[in-house]
Structures are given as structure tokens and as C-alpha cells.
Amino acid sequence: MRTTKLQKAGREWKACCPFHDEKTPSFTVSDEKGFYHCFGCGAHGDVIRWMTDQRGLQFMDAVKELAAEAGMEVPAPDPRAAERAERRAGLHDVTQAAQDWFVAQLQGAKGEKAREYLHSRGFNARTVERFGFGLAPNERQAIKPALSQFDEAMLVEAGLRIEVEDKESYDRFRGRLMLPIQDARGRVIAFGGRILDANASPKAPKYLNSPDTPLFDKGRTLYNLHRAGPASRQTGRMVVVEGYMDVIALAAAGIEDSVAPLGTALTERQIELLWRMVETPILCFDGDAAGQRAALRAVTRALPLLRPARSLAIVRMPPGLDPDDFLRERGREAMDSLLTEPASLLDTLWQFESHAQPLDTPEDKAGLKARLLAHVDTIQDSDIRALYRRDLLDRFSVFAFPRRERGNWRPRGTPAPAKLSPDSVRRLRDARRGSHDQLVAAVVAGLMRFPEEALRHADKLGSFAATDQKSGPLIDSILEAAEMLEPGAQLPISELDGPVAPPDNTRFTFLSEGIDPQDAREQLAEAISLLVERPALKAALAKATARFADDPEGSIAEQARLRERMLEIEQRLGQVATRRAADAASHDSNRPADARIRGEEETD
């Protein structure tokens, strides 16, 4: 292996593992068996797995590179694909030739100013050579004669020349410090150029990248991935910065696991590419307004893609500093400190939106809540969406309804019950007599114990109240009473008549004494979700049953699906509810599990 030094050990080879730090070799390679294995960290695989895991290549790229080293060609799937592959191979020759020419120009007489600039940035000869710095002379017709072995059309297709109708084509890059952009296999596929004399061309962009070509798709490419991929295997980290000069500055300081998008905001494809390397890439964008907007765009693009163990972390650079500036001013140790404590995606979302505009009026605060929920609604994974919603609404409640140091607060000196309608007071008093529906009774008792949860789940509870004639008015009364309270206060009926006892014959953990309040609130939220979903399922089941005469096969299939879902709800209720007392558990021990669940959670 070219990237790992191996020593002969009998019929096998050994080395220190490239996937984790160790001093004593535990990594072995067996030619006979055709695999490598580390007895320290468990890394294991064949030669293709090595190329994908250690080199960061995609599967087909690994196959193609191995085939090329063996002098073989991977068959093209069809003639058109073969033609495209041949064209790309020719363009690789063009871009590599251009890279060699740019490097030669930097080292020649015309490159003095560019070399001075690199020296002023603190880039030594090793860094300049490693990253392939070059120079595009400030001339319109320089590269064509230099690459005369290639047709003009190939230079245009590779993005090196610009074709103009009825006029002579001209060089795209002029008077710029050049950097090669490489694919995951390290092949040159495009270029980026930084202008050297902005005064000479005030309208010219500071940075200019190649256009999209058959080799280069800027939305699918990450600068420096072919170097950062193997480095990230060692660190377990991937740092994403805004530009390639930041990447090079980090590498020059010894931080090798960094990449950058290329002239665009981080795209969904680039995020997926990063997730193939690490579970939580770290975004480290500039501290100015533009950099923070770029970070927010990346966050909003990532939200729909989130899934378990796939997220982003964000480092907020000090205002006015990019990673390159920060390193020069404060050094490697300060940068390491920033990277070891990034903010989570959720924390960053709250920070951005809560500081996006003034929050002085109720309307401003309602706007904040609407923006947060709009972000949450884009998350496709239902579990992550629910967790984000709960956390952000918790933060919003703490912000919008701050606790006041007044003990049990009542609205401006007026007894709280007087604020409720007589019907609401009566319903709240009747609530302690419980309900035949054990789930409704448990949710009501839970809301009277934790009234702030009524506001947090007001949308769900309101939709349930509108469709349930029996329990809806009681839920409306709880919502009415809860709107008058600050966090931590009790509902009026609780203060007048003492704490609300759990309903008879129900053993829900969120109603038990001594349970952690946070656990109780989470379980109450689960019960509320089940309460809201159940009527919709019953209505759908009735509708499916009613259409049996017209569509018996479809009706039966739909009824089966809905009944399976209702059984799932019953089973979830069984998870929310605690076991009965020991004697009741012993009495029921011989009954089937499903029967026990239905017995404990019977509904109207």
C-alpha cells in the first residue's frame, strides 16, 4: 500500500493502523486471504473497501483506479457512455497540461508578483508545491499556443477559453493566481483563480472558478476532498470553510481535514458527500454577515435531509474574521479551541432566528415562533421533526413567557377563577370525577398537573377538541385557563380544590408521584399525540367499512391496515402506562399481552 508503510511478518504484512492512533502495530494485510484487518479498532475490508474508506473514493472511482493500475479498462455500459468516457479522458489530459503550464508560469519571470503575494500570506514552498499554485498571465491569448497540441474546442469545453460568436475566443483566466480543483481521485478537473491586481480590473471578480464542464460540477464537488478524506479518517472530523484559501491556511497550520464548496452555498449533494465521511461535519464560515448568511443557507438545506446520526455542527467565527485571518491573529491553539466546541444545528437555528430582528412586541414574538415552526416543518424524518419542534417550542416558551418572581401569579390582582367562564369552571370541577375514556382522563389529569403543556400542544389539542363532542369542551376549558397562567403556576381548579388525583384504574407514568418532571412532560406529549390520532383513525375505519358494498376488496384491505394501526396505538399506550401493582400483575400474568394492554386502556 502506497499510503501505509508495511513490514513483512511471516506470510502476512503488519503496520500501525491508519484508521486510529497506535504505537504497537495491530494492523495486518494478507495477500492470500485478500483482506486487511486491525485487531485494535476492528477495521476490516478488501482492496476496494480500502480505497473507499481510507482514500474517500466512491465505489466506481475505486474500481476504475484499481483497473487503471492493473492495465485494465472498466467496460462502458453502452456506446454513448463509452464516448463520454473517452471525451472526459481527453479533457483530463487538457486540464493536467494546463496545470503544468500554470505552475511553470508561477516559477518563471512573470510570477514574481504572485510569489511575493504567496510569501505575504505565509505560504512556504512546501505548501505552494503541495496545493499546486500556478499563474495565469494577464494576456488574452496565452494558453492557446501553450497547449497547441489540443484543439480549440477542447480548450473551450474544459473551461479554459471563452468562445464568443463572430469574435476570437480568449483565455478565461488572466492575471490570476491559479489553483487546481481536483476530484476524489486527485485528478485535475477545474481551476480557481484569485485576481492579483484588483485595481487594474475593478469590475473583475476577486475569485473566479471554472464553469461546469463534463469533468466539473461545482454543486457536487468539494475542494480538497481527496486530501481531507483520508485525514478525516484519523480525526473523525470534517471541517467545511468558505473558500480554498481558508482550506490552504488551515492545512498550512496542520489542520488537514478541511474542505470548501466552490463559489456556491453548500448544496444538498455536498452535504450528502460530507455525511459519507463523518456523521456531523463542522461548518466554519466567515464571521461577517455574508458568511453567517451562507451558514444559515447550509442549515436550511440540511434540515430536510436530517436523519439519525446525520447532522451539522457550526462554529461562529468572531465578527470580521475568516479562518485564515483568525489563524494569523490568534494561532493554531485558538482555532483548535473553536473547533472542539461547535454549536449544534438546533442551537444555531435558534440563535439565528431569535436574533434575526427585534422581538419587542407580541407580533414580533409570534413571528419568531412561526419562523421556527416553518423550519421544523421541512424536516422529513418524523422523529427528528418532533424532537426539534419540542425543543424549539420549549425555548420559545421560556423566552416569550419569562417566569416572574411572584410566587403563584394571578392576572393583575383578580382571582383567577373569575377570569374563566362559569361553564369552564364547572367543567374543570367535573374533570376530577374522571372519564370513562382512560386516555382522555389521563391527559386531562396530566394537563392540570403541567398546564404549560396545554399551550405547547395547543394546536393538537384544539384540533381534537373541535372533533370530539364529549371531551372537546373540557379540553377547551383547560386551554382557556392555561392561557392565563405563567410557567409554573397551577390551574385555578387545582388551587381551590387541591391537587388533581390520577384517574381510577389508570397507571400512566407521567401521573405517578416522584417521576422526573421532564420525563413526565415527554410522556404526556406522547399521550397527547395518541389522543389526537385516535379519532382520525376511528373515522377512517368507519369510512372504510361504509364502502364495503362498492369495493369489498379495497374496504377489507383498508380496514385491516387501520386496525393494525389502532393495535399499534394500543401497544404504544401499553408502553406509556406503568404496570399495575404487584398483586394485579400477578393476577393478570396468564393473560395474553394484547389482552392485558386492552384491559388496562379500554376506551369508549
The pLDDT of residue 405: 42
For the entire predicted model, the pTM comes to: 0.59
- Angstrom CA distances, 460 to 51, 420, 484, 529, stand at 50, 22, 19, 8
> For residue 217, is pLDDT > 50?
yes
User: Which contiguous run of DSSP H or E holds residue 343?
Assistant: strand 343-344
Give 583 or 547, the one with higher predicted confidence: 547
* pLDDT band at residue 11 under the 50/70/90 scheme: confident
> For residue 34, is pLDDT > 50?
yes
The Cα 396–Cα 368 span in angstroms is: 8
* pLDDT band at residue 598 under the 50/70/90 scheme: very low
Q: Which of 168-172, 225-229, 413-417, 589-593 has the lowest mean pLDDT?
A: 413-417
Give me the mean pLDDT over the 91-112 stretch. 94
The pLDDT of residue 585: 43
Nearest to 228 by CA among 241, 212, 219, 214: 241
Which segment, 32-41, 233-242, 468-477, 544-553, is predicted with the most confidence on average? 233-242
Which segment, 56-60, 357-361, 397-401, 548-552, is predicted with the most confidence on average? 357-361
* pLDDT band at residue 411 under the 50/70/90 scheme: very low
Helix 422-431, helix 438-449: angle, nearest 10: 110
The pLDDT of residue 483: 65
Cell (9 digits) for 244: 480554498
Cα Dmax for the chain: 95
* pLDDT band at residue 225 under the 50/70/90 scheme: very high
Q: Which residue has the cell 473553536?
A: 338
> For residue 263, is pLDDT > 80?
no
pLDDT in tens, 118-129: 999 889 999 999
User: Which contiguous run of DSSP H or E holds residue 66?
Assistant: helix 59-69
The pLDDT of residue 89: 63
The pLDDT of residue 418: 36
Give 181 or 487, the one with higher predicted confidence: 181
Cα torsion 448, 449, 453, 457 to 10°: value is: -40
pLDDT in tens, 366-387: 899 999 999 999 999 999 999 9
* pLDDT band at residue 146 under the 50/70/90 scheme: very high
CA 354 to chain centre: 20
Give me the mean pLDDT over the 523-530 stretch. 83
- Return the half-sphere exposure (C-beta side, CA atoms, 13 A cut-off) of residue 540: 15
pLDDT in tens, 267-317: 999 999 999 999 999 999 877 777 778 888 899 999 999 999 999 999 988
* pLDDT band at residue 510 under the 50/70/90 scheme: confident
